[in-house]
Structure 1
Amino acid sequence: MAKNTGASKFRKVNVDEYDEENFQDNEDADVGVVGPNENEVSNFLNQSKNVEALKAVLQNPPQGCKDKRLKDKVVQVVVRVLSAFKTSDIEKGVNALDSQSLDTLMKYIYRGFEFPSEGSSATLLSWHEKVYAKGGSGCIIRVLTDRKTL
């Protein structure tokens, strides 16, 4: 038989705090300059410096931004940069990136599939293959489990 201890501390827990419907994400509120510099990226592409354009477009991703139009615009710029590479030069571009940039690139690749255009899916699949070869499964897992979306 259970003893009546008179303990009532458990009654002071606010169970609504753990409700999934009331979840509030605490994203970073310090959003300064967001997104890559399009002029700089365009200059690199015009000069056929594709690797530098790739690095420039991955420098400042709009992860904390809530403006969907800005994020969509940045994804289109990234897809434009990825499409500028020849298939034989993709591996050289991937090898020039560090692991954090690879994760960001993988996020852009997945977001690029949301905006299919003529030949973009084939290009994105080629990039996905090369990024996976360098970054491994961990790159994909980090992208899929990250709460900060692009």
Structure 2
Amino acid sequence: MAKNTLSSRFRKVDIDEYDENKFVDDHDEAADQQGPDAVEVDNLIRHALVLRFLNQLQCTGDMMTAFHIALRNPPLNTKNPAVKERAQAVVMRVLTSFKSSDIEPAVKSLDRNGVDLLMKYIYRGFERPSENSSAILLQWHEKAFAAGGLGSIVRVLTARKTV
């Protein structure tokens, strides 16, 4: 038999907190978890493609800016699949718009966390390939692997938070 039967500590537990019928889903997500700004990225890509058509050198800067903006706000903590799909689409538009010669400088401009985030988007792009996206993603993967090493792949594959 228990030694202290007069204890009333158990009465301080709120059992209504664990009631299944009182579940409240948090729909209020922070504004920083809504993914990258698609309009700003699309404008930069469009401007870079026009400059590339006109053979001007400034297009690399616009593509680099679009690349960094696309990776700036990853929806890691959100549970909303629509937000994650929208962010993936923005990043894929940026990655497929790069010229092959500009991929390596773009990857080298990222820190370790940025390379890991890029790897997450690359592997997510491999899950649902579109026309010619696999070849482009393989080029990005090669450069990201050179920058991040095997550790980047292991961190991405074992991460709990996905994009």
Question: What TM-score range do you get, normalising by the shorter chain?
Answer: 0.7 to 0.9
- How much does 1:31 deviate? 3.5
What CA deviation, in whole Å up to 9, does each residue of 1:11-69 have, x standing for no partner?
xxxxxxxxxxxxxxxxxx98412200111111221221111111000011001111112
Quick one: which amino acid aligns to residue 47 of structure 1? H
Match of 1:63 in 2: 76
- Are 2:130 and 1:132 aligned? no
Q: Is residue 139 of structure 2 the alignment partner of residue 141 of structure 1?
A: no
SS in 2 for 1:113: helix
- For the pair 1:32 / 2:45, whether they are aligned, the reply is no
Does the Cα contact within 8 Å between 1:31 and 1:64 map onto a contact in 2?
no
Instruction: Please say if residues 36 and 60 of structure 1, whose CA atoms lie closer than 8 Å, have aligned partners that are also in contact.
Output: yes
Task: Supply the AA of the counterpart residue of 1:127.
Answer: W
Choose 39-48 or 120-129, whichever is displaced more: 39-48
SS at match of 1:116: coil
Matched residues, number: 122
1:116 pairs with 2:109: no
Task: Give the corresponding residue for 2:120.
Answer: 107
Amino acid at match of 1:114: E
Larger helix fraction of residues: 2
Aligned to 2:89: 76
**1:146/1:43 Cα in 2 relative to 1: closer, same or farther (>3 Å)?**
same
Bigger CA drift: 57-66 or 45-54? 45-54
- Structure 1, gaps ≥5 residues long: 1-28
Which runs of structure 2 are paired with 1:82-97 in the superposition (5 Å)? 82-97=95-110
CA separation of 1:96 and 1:66: change in aligned 2, threshold 3 A: same
TM-score of the two chains, using structure 1 as the length reference? 0.77
Query: TM-score, with normalisation over the residues of structure 2?
Result: 0.71
Structure with bigger gyration radius: 2
CA–CA distance in structure 2, aligned partners of residues 100 and 127 of structure 1: 16
CA distance in 2, matches of 1:44, 1:95: 20
In the alignment, structure 2 segments of 5+ residues that lack a partner are 1-26, 49-61
